[in-house]
Amino acid sequence: MQAAQTLPSVRWNIVYLPLKSLCPAQFPLHQDTAIPSTPRFWVTCEGGPAFSRILSRLPSGLSLGACLAAGIFVFTGVRDVRCDDVSGLSLCDPDRKRSCRRTSSIRQARGARRNGKHQPDDCDYDKFPLVFGCEDDYDVRRPLGKGAHGEVFEGIRTHNASSIAPTASGDLCVIKKLKSAKERMIRREVQILHNLRDGPNIIALLDVVQGPRSKEASLIFEHGDFVELKSVSKMLSDEEVRFYIFEILRALEYCHSQGIMHRDVKPRNVVVNLETKQIRLIDFGLAEFFQPGKGFSLRVSSLRYKAPELLVGQIRYDYSVDIWSLGCMLADIVFKKDPFFRGKDSTDQLARIVNVLGTDDLFPYLRKHSLQLDYHFSSHLRRQPRRSLFHFVTDENCDLAVPQVIDLLDKMLVYDPAFRLSPREAMEHPYFRSVRARHTADSDPRSCL
C-alpha cells in the first residue's frame, strides 16, 4: 500500500459529483491507498454537504486520489479548498496551474441563497402571488418596438390605481404587451423582476395588468426617455463605452448574486439615456433562476450572442452565458462590426466562432464535458490556431479597440465557461480603471464621463 502523503497548507479546488449510486463495483479502482483516519477538508464550492461528510460515505478502500482517477471527484485547480494530510493526491501536481476558475459570481449567488435572498420556492413560480391590475388604467400613445414575445408601446397612466411601484396619474410609462404568454412564464418574469427591484441599472417593473376581455397580460415599466444601445453604439466615445459596459456588468453582478441568469443579453436589451447617462438592462422574459446540476433549455439568447455551450448542446450551463453575450456586445462596439460573429444558423454561428477562437481550446472543452459536435460540422472542421483580436483593429476603430479592451475580450470570449471572467472580475480589469476611480469619487453617473 502506498504511504499517505502529507501536504500541509496546500489549497485545492475539488468539485464532487453525486454519490447516490456510488458503489465499488461500478469503478474498477486499484485500492492502493486509504482514506486518512481523521481527514480534514474545508469546501466552498458546489454547495451541498461538507466534504468531510461526503468522504465518510465512500466505500471502504476508496481514497481521494482514487476518486479523482475515477471521476467521482473532479480536480479543478489550486483554489478554495484546503486539504491537510490527504493520501493519493500524487495524481495531481500541487504546482499545476489552475485549470478552472470558480467564478465569484457563482459563489456570491450561493451565498445569497444561503442568506435567504434566493429560496427554493423562487423556482416554483406557481407559488408567486400574481395580482393583475386593470389595463384601462393606462393608455397607449405610440409603438416603440416589436419582438418575438410581444409589442412595446409608450403609454401614460390615467388612474391612480394600486401598482407594484408608486406612480401618479399622467406619468409616462412603457407598456409591454405579451403575446399568448403562459401564465407560468409571466409569473417567472414578474417574480424575477420583483427579486431584482433594488438592483443597479435594472429596469423597474411598475405594474402588471390584464385586459378585461382579451385576458392578455401587459407589463408596465419605467419610462426614462431611453433608447436602445444598438441605435447609438456607433456614436459612443472610448470613455462612454467603458462606462456603459461597466454599468451593464454592475447589473449582471447583481442578477447573478441573486441567483438569476438573464440569458438574453444583447444590444437591443440594453437601453440608455444619453443625456442623464442612465442605463437599464431590460427584457427578462428568458431569465431563469440558476440551480446547480440542473439542465436548462438551449432555446435562449439570440443567435449572434449565443454562448458556445448553448451551440454544442451543454444543458448544464450557468451565469457565464451572460458574460459571453456581453463580450460579443463589446466586440460589436469596439471593432464596429455589427455583429462580431455573424452566423446564419447555429452550425454557422459556431463555425464563425471557431474561425476566430480556433480549435486548440475547443477540443479539450468538448472532451471535458463529453460533448460531441454535429457530424456534418465536425467532418469539415480542421485544426486552426486562435486568431489574435488585434487582427480586427483598423484605422476606423483603433480609437476604441485599445490593447486593454483586447485583453478583456480575450478573457470573456472563451470556450470553457469556467475560464470566463465573472462580472466582478471583469469590473476589476484595468480597462475600467478610470471608470472605477470616478465612480468611487461621485455616485452621480454623469460624473464618470
DSSP string, 78-106: SSSEEEES-TTGGGS-TTSPP-----HHH
CA distance 80 to 42: 8
Number of H helices, E strands in the chain: 14, 16
Q: pLDDT tens string for the chain (449 positions)?
A: 444 333 333 333 444 433 333 333 333 333 333 333 333 332 333 333 344 444 554 545 555 555 555 545 543 333 333 333 333 332 233 333 333 344 444 444 444 433 334 544 566 677 788 888 888 889 999 999 887 778 999 999 987 655 555 555 568 999 999 987 888 889 999 999 999 998 999 999 999 998 877 778 999 999 988 999 999 999 999 999 999 999 999 999 999 999 999 999 999 999 999 999 999 999 999 999 999 889 999 999 999 999 999 999 999 999 999 999 999 999 999 999 989 999 999 999 999 999 999 999 999 999 999 998 887 788 778 889 999 999 999 999 999 999 999 999 999 999 999 999 999 999 999 999 999 998 776 655 544 55
Q: What length is written for the chain? A: 449
Q: What is the pLDDT of residue 72?
A: 52
Q: Supply φ then ψ for residue 79, to 5 degrees.
A: 180, 150
Q: Supply φ then ψ for residue 352, to 5 degrees.
A: -65, -40
**421: Cβ contacts below 8 Å, ≥ 6 apart:** 101, 103, 323, 408, 411, 412, 429
Q: What is the pLDDT of residue 380?
A: 75
Query: 409616462: which residue's cell?
Result: 172
CA distance 320 to 330: 15
Q: What is the pLDDT of residue 167?
A: 56
* In CATH, 131-221 is 3.30.565.10: no
264 labelled catalytic: yes
Question: What are the boundaries of each domain within the chain?
Answer: 10-100, 131-221, 227-448
Annotated catalytic residue within 80, 264, 283, 318: 264
The CATH number, out of the four listed (1.10.510.10, 3.40.50.720, 1.10.260.40, 3.30.420.40), of the domain defined by the range 227-448:
1.10.510.10
Where would I find the H helices in 90-173?
A: 104-114
* Order of strands, sheet of 150-157, starting from the edge strand that comes earlier in the sequence: 133-134, 205-210, 217-221, 172-178, 150-157, 138-147
Q: What is the pLDDT of residue 314?
A: 95
What residues form DSSP beta bridges with 82? 11, 42
Q: What is the pTM of this model?
A: 0.73
CA distance 158 to 144: 19
Query: 453582478: which residue's cell?
Result: 253
Tell me the three cell numbers of residue 294.
Answer: 440542473
Q: What is the pLDDT of residue 105?
A: 43
51-58 LR contacts (CB < 8 Å, sep 24+): 51/14, 51/16, 51/81, 54/16, 54/19, 57/19, 57/22, 58/19, 58/22
CA distance 409 to 420: 10
